[in-house]
Amino acid sequence: MNASAFLEFLEYEKRLSSHTLTAYRSDLNQFFTFLQATYALPSIAEVSHLHVRSWMVHLTQQNIRARSINRKLSCLKSFFRFERQRGSIQHNPLQKIVAPKTGKRLPTFVHRDRIDQLFRDVDFGEGYSGQRNRTLLELLYGTGMRRSELIGLRVGDVDLCSRNLRVLGKGNKERLIPLPPHLAQVQPEYLEVPTHHFGEKKMAPLLDTDKGRSLYPKLVYNIVKRYLSTVTTVEQRSPHVLRHTFATHLSDNGADLNAIKELLGHASLAATQVYTHNSIERLREVYQRAHPKGEGSTKEAK
């Protein structure tokens, strides 16, 4: 069983990101390995919905969450749809598959006072690495960009005159994000550092490692987790949490949902609507603490 043609289609026709391609490749390899080990099927043409259901049971027994199983099923649907269009198979075994239900999970975010504390009180240190780490966090929180988008930034993507930042998102779609005033003030000082440190190159990465190489996902994750750990105890302290925090704070302060969608680079409004739920939850907490009929007031009365 081979998925090379499908993966090439995703890379060159659909222009999916390397991160997404890695996830698809891993899911397909996992599925193929299960089929070979359990059923010894000679080709994908022999795969039926019963085999897929058996794999779902196998994943559940390994304590794989329903959300992750759904993502893997989405990968399989795309793969078998592609193979059917090529004429490799006669039917799509995913047509009879019902995806497991998942509870709605609100995005994790960091409260405003903790973010203020991060940039006000935390010592980022002197020199290039300290300036880079602060700028990295400022960019993630101040623009809501994805980790892959941050890594892909080039010096030429920053326009300090118009205070815009050009970002290459999913599917190689470009979007412009306004640089917040405080971030535009930080940038000129930072941009002078790589000019003298590594040489001026318009297409050079905006953010580098201490050795002048491009950032990589694990390093960005470690930097974010290190500094968020000094101000918050939320379980997730990843770059994506700062993206959620950016969107949640905008929503809390009355930003238009369509504007948030454009800033985040979402393809549909449905993906952005989850941040309104965070705002509703915050209002519910305020109500429960302050209203005479709220839970907080009831406890105090007792």
Q: How far apart are CA 59 and CA 56, in angstroms?
A: 5
Query: Given 170, 175, 277, 282, which residue is catalytic?
Result: 170
Q: Is 196 a catalytic residue?
A: no
Q: Which listed residue (132, 146, 147, 244) is catalytic?
A: 146
Give exposure, 29-43, as e/b (b: 16+ Cβ within 10 Å). Answer: eebbebbeeeeeeee
Alpha carbon distances (Å) from 89 to 7, 65, 82, 293: 17, 30, 10, 61
The catalytic residue among 84, 111, 154, 240 is: 240
211 catalytically annotated: no
Tell me which of 266, 277, 282, 287 is the catalytic residue: 266
Would you call 170 a catalytic residue per the annotation?
A: yes
Ramachandran angles phi, psi of 164, nearest 5°: -120, 155
275 assigned to active site: yes
Phi and psi, residue 158, nearest 5°: -95, 120
Nearest to 119 by CA among 218, 176, 185, 164: 185
Identify the active-site residue in 134, 243, 244, 249: 243
Tell me, yes or no, if 128 is annotated catalytic.
Answer: no
The residues, ordered by sequence, that sit 6+ positions from 268 with a Cβ below 8 Å of its Cβ are 261
Report how far Cα 149 is from the mean position of its chain's Cα atoms.
10
Q: Quick check: is 72 catalytic?
A: no
- What are the residue numbers of the active site? 146, 170, 240, 243, 266, 275
